[in-house]
Amino acid sequence: MSKEVRALEPKELWNNFADLNAVPRGSKKEEKVRQFMVEFGKKLNLETVVDPIGNVIIKKPAFKGMENRKVLVLQGHLDMVHQKNSDSNFDFDTEGIKMKVDGDWVRAEGTTLGADNGLGVAAIMSVLASTDIAHPALEALFTIDEETGMTGAMGLEAGYLNGEILLNLDTEEDDEIDIGCAGGIDITVESDYHEVSAPVNSIGYSISVTGLNGGHSGMDIHKGLGNANKIMNRILYAVQDITRISEINGGSLRNAIPRESFAKIAVYHASKSSFLKILKKISKEIKQELKTIDPNLTIEITETEAPNKVMTLISQNALIAAIYASHNGVYRMSNDMEDLVETSNNIARITVKNGSITILCLTRSSVESSKFDLANTLKSTFELAGYKVTLSGSYPGWKPNVNSPILELLSKTYEKLFKSKPGIMACHAGLECGILGTNYPEMDMISFGPTIQGAHSPDEKANIKSSQKFWKFLLTILENIPFKN
């Protein structure tokens, strides 16, 4: 399958992407891809450094005649989001991504593709390996753990980079240039509960919520996509007086809108017909509400063996109420930038099993005060239920600079090449520019990239024509980096 991907143009870009995708590179599991990148740099006889946090920096001298241009940093992140369909037999820790060409798109077989940010990384690799691409002196910065904490960017110390300009190649619409992004904070909710025996003569049921589109919890949060955790909780709320929860397993990663949720419950024998009637009604209502955005939503109820242990009624009702009251989705739109989500929350992961509850959220905002306002709202909600709440991994947003010199260069270059004006945007995803700017405050930063859809889900796909457009844009920018002052 990778053969047809390797045959795509530009070949250097797609071949480096295929090489990269052959290496397992999950967030916080970057050992193999770090070694891959170090070996890549050394094979090219380029200065290659691994900093204390685990980022890889490769430096390349200027192309002949470009020595008097400003030093340029090209930046992307090595890790990728690991998501797969429930019926996909795939081990992210040992296998490379299986890719295929589907019309004008490249996809993966049942998993995330890793185009976020693999195409950006592959583009940087292609420039580093080139012998005929005009460019100034380059510093390629490959960060780790962007997807689950941005610890690579946060751990990068001052002094490793000398560049005056940074191009972050991690956005997902080829007609947009990003000059700002949201910050984020992780919310972790934990509690223990007392397990009791299931009611006598109860009937076991499993409930599954599947078939949702899912997606990026920043870039896609405004679309009104179904959240499997909230849907499951809504179902359980409707039948909480006649059921007892044994287990819940919903969602996966903080930065992915949850696509699936599964629950095991006990139903009072005398309430079986009422239970099935309520489930049929609520399922129909939810599907009707989401039929336009999530047409493949499936809610299945299967009779099973009754569970041995369930939550107490008090613990169960407190859990359902807390999740119901917790905000999910857009919290506030920006007053300063049209159509920009300012603040949001994703209820990403819920597990209930063996007397333990864990709930994971990711709150994002381009305004620090608003970020903590929503985080404290969620904290208060869960604390009212008696749960322990931990706020961690906070990182800042990237404040837009509309007077950026590199923005002017990119805007003019785009307009000249493609005969249209690019969208100048701030995005609701977490780009690393804001964090990198804390130790490199004088660096002029900007972000752009090829069109990628469905990031953070197994529906992720990268547009082939857009990747060609992105490559042409990048090469033209490299040729026109300003002279040193």
Which has the closest alpha carbon to 112: 159, 79, 141?
A: 79
The residues facing 353 across adjacent strands are 356
Catalytic residue among 30, 145, 146, 176: 146
Where residue 430 falls among pLDDT bands split at 50, 70, 90? Answer: confident
Q: Is the dihedral of CA 103, 109, 112, 115 positive or negative?
A: negative
Where residue 13 falls among pLDDT bands split at 50, 70, 90? Answer: very high
* Percent of the chain topping pLDDT 70: 100
Specify the pLDDT at position 381.
Answer: 98
164 catalytically annotated: no
DSSP β-ladder status, 138-143 and 56-60 = antiparallel
- The predicted model gives 84-89 an average pLDDT of 88
pLDDT digits (tens, 9 = 90+) for 181-239: 999 999 999 999 999 999 999 999 999 999 999 999 999 999 999 999 999 999 999 99
The residues facing 178 across adjacent strands are 425, 447
Specify the pLDDT at position 296.
Answer: 97
CATH of domain 185-395: 3.30.70.360
pLDDT digits (tens, 9 = 90+) for 18-77: 999 999 999 999 999 999 999 999 999 999 999 999 999 999 999 999 999 999 999 999
The residues facing 249 across adjacent strands are 262, 351
Q: CA-CA distance, 113 to 451, in Å (whole number)? A: 13
Specify the pLDDT at position 1.
Answer: 53
Which has the closest alpha carbon to 203: 288, 302, 129?
A: 302
Contact 442, 164 (CB under 8 A): yes
Cα distances (angstroms) measured from residue 131 to each of 68, 147, 155, 268: 19, 32, 32, 73
**Domain ranges in the chain with CATH number 3.40.630.10:** 2-182+398-479
Where residue 314 falls among pLDDT bands split at 50, 70, 90? Answer: very high
**Domain ranges in the chain with CATH number 3.30.70.360:** 185-395
Where residue 414 falls among pLDDT bands split at 50, 70, 90? Answer: very high
SS3 86: coil
Share the mean pLDDT of the chain: 96
Q: In the chain, what is the straight-line distance between the N-terminal and C-terminal CA atoms, in Å? A: 48
Tally the C-alpha atoms within 13 A of residue 265's C-alpha that lie toward its C-beta.
30
pLDDT digits (tens, 9 = 90+) for 147-161: 988 999 999 999 999
- The predicted model gives 114-128 an average pLDDT of 98
Catalytic residue among 79, 170, 178, 432: 79
Q: CA-CA distance, 138 to 380, in Å (whole number)? A: 48
Specify the pLDDT at position 382.
Answer: 98
DSSP β-ladder status, 261-267 and 298-304 = unpaired
146 catalytically annotated: yes
DSSP string, 448-471: ----EESTTSTT-EEEHHHHHHHH
What phi, psi does 98 have (nearest 5°)? -95, 110
pTM over 0.95: no
Q: CA-CA distance, 463 to 237, in Å (whole number)? A: 41
- The predicted model gives 429-434 an average pLDDT of 91
Fold of 2-182+398-479: Aminopeptidase (3.40.630)
* Percent of the chain topping pLDDT 90: 94
Supply angle C-alpha 158, 254, 168, rounded to 5: 40
Q: CA-CA distance, 230 to 202, in Å (whole number)? A: 26
Start-end of H helices in 337-463: 368-384, 405-418, 433-439
Top-confidence residue, 222 or 438: 222
Which has the closest alpha carbon to 423: 441, 435, 439, 411?
A: 411
